[in-house]
Amino acid sequence: MNNAGETINMAIGFVTGRKNFKNLIKTYVNNWNEYDLINNDKVKLHLFVAYDLKYHNTRVSDYKNIDPSIYDWLDSVTFIGSNAISNEIKHLTDNGVVSKKEAKMVFG
């Protein structure tokens, strides 16, 4: 529950290997705009996109080249590729947060 005056951080995450996910992002952002979340100082909106270049033989630019207005409407946009995932797995396993088996189950 949000206390009066606190900021709410809301995020949407995509795990994708398809270029057309960008159309879905627009749908979400338009919906947030309809509910006055875009310009609401009490709500911070964040987008996370974990992409798989091998799924449909795509390039990083297929994911990062989203409509520039979306960047303007969101507080942060984070893209997560295979290198970032590998680094996170290494960090978590090296620090004993999860086992290699657990990391494989979470990150595939």
| Separation of alpha carbons 64 and 55, rounded Å | 16
Of 47, 44, 53, which Cα lies nearest the Cα of 19? Answer: 53
Q: What is the pLDDT of residue 80?
A: 92
Place of tokens 């595939």: 108
Is 16 in contact with 63 (CB distance < 8 Å)?
yes
Interval 16-72: pLDDT, tens: 888 888 888 889 888 988 988 888 989 999 999 998 888 888 889 888 888 888 888
pLDDT reading at 14 higher than 80: yes
Element (H, E) at 11: strand 8-16
| Separation of alpha carbons 56 and 100, rounded Å | 27
Q: What is the pLDDT of residue 69?
A: 86
If you average pLDDT over residues 61-86, what whole number do you get?
89
